[in-house]
Amino acid sequence: MKTLFRNKAGRLLSAVALIALAAPAMANTLNQNVSWTIDRTGTTAKYRTVAYGDSIFAGYNGSISNAGKYSAPTVDAEYLSARWNADIESVRRAKSGAVARDVYENKIVAERSYMQAASTRVVSFEMCGNDGLQARSAFKSQTGTCDYSGLDAAINSCKTYVAAAMDYINTNAHANTRLKVISNLHYPGYNTDNVQSACRDAGTGQTVNMRDRFLPAIAKMNYWMCEYARQKGFQCADSFAQYMAADYDSNGDGLIDSDALRYVSGESEASYVTRTSVALRATLRDANTKFVSSSSSFDYIQSDDTHPTYTGGTVSAGLWGGTTGTGAPRYSSFTNGRNPIWNQYGHERMGWALSVYQPANP
């Protein structure tokens, strides 16, 4: 009987080959957990922030072995370290490729111990992006008569598990927790979705513009993330507004576009969806070109046209385990509550959006 591995070198090559073959499947649901402590000079107090989510909070960059060190939750922790003059442990429990139910069941519920620690002061989460991406992919592959039920199912799943996650965090986060916050969804591929479908609408017999279908669906998900936050004692970091509109008044309505796009506390779903996907539609821009002024822009989306850009290097996170590490803060001061690159990368912008709700004291 022949043996599969003839020698040590052969075993190594075979293992690498097997990993390479399995990587695409594993990356669909890849745990990418990180604990990184912002170690501020001259401080003795140490507090924890806990972030649950999918590839966005993971800092996913296409790798099965590493992720961005400064994804949004760790950027948020850096702001908190400066505000409180304390060391902040940023715990990210993330699973790339996970739909909302997976994030809820296998991160928030199964890994509740991280937010139950007495040092916990902030709990944040994000979800639903993969529900939307999977529904979008399924719709794009349709021929014949268009079936919109997949988009509706994604919206309903998002609503169900966002509400469940908030209820669970409210019950299980340590009593010392001072802030609970959710980040809603940006629209990756906004420009590339501006094409006609291969399927035809049952009523008109015509193909449909895919962006016209997907935009209201994302708007409904985003509305309920922020509305449930209002109802259940969370804050809502409106990443859709931060990513998808310019930081100046492009339409002359007297409002900065990104401010005008934000969720308004207490508004109805119909009002929000109409305002963001119809009335202000002309101000929406693909986040690959995020205008921070009328003459300056930055790329908030990586080359995969999905995940936010980042800076500050990477950490081990994925197939070979996660990183537990410590590092000094990158910046010693924050002018007007913002670091010098707050609007230059997607993760920096999301981290800042999370940070604006931080309490003054621990």
Query: Is residue 27 pLDDT above 70, yes or no?
Result: no
Query: Is residue 8 pLDDT above 90, yes or no?
Result: no
What are the structure tokens assigned to 180, written together? 């609970």
Domains, the chain, ordered by start: 27-356 (3.40.50.1110)
What are the structure tokens assigned to 339, written together? 């670091």
| C-beta neighbour count of 141 within 10 angstroms | 10
Residue given tokens 């003459």 in the structure block = 295
Looking at residue 333, what is its pLDDT? Answer: 81
CB 119 within 8 A of CB 48: yes
Which residues does residue 290 pair with via DSSP β-bridges, in sequence order? 298
DSSP state, residue 190: T
Q: Please, what is the average pLDDT of the chain?
A: 93
Looking at residue 20, what is its pLDDT? Answer: 32
Confidence bin at 320 (pLDDT 50/70/90): confident
Mean predicted confidence (pLDDT) in 318-330: 92
Query: Is residue 12 pLDDT above 70, yes or no?
Result: no
Mean predicted confidence (pLDDT) in 146-159: 98
- Could you report how far apart the first and last alpha carbons of the chain are, in Å? 66
Tell me which of 16 and 286 has the higher pLDDT.
Answer: 286
pLDDT tens across 103-152, in order?
999 999 999 999 999 999 999 999 999 999 999 999 999 999 999 999 99
| C-beta neighbour count of 17 within 10 angstroms | 10
The span from the CA of 28 to the CA of 43, in Å, is: 40
Looking at residue 29, what is its pLDDT? Answer: 86
Number of H helices, E strands in the chain: 11, 14
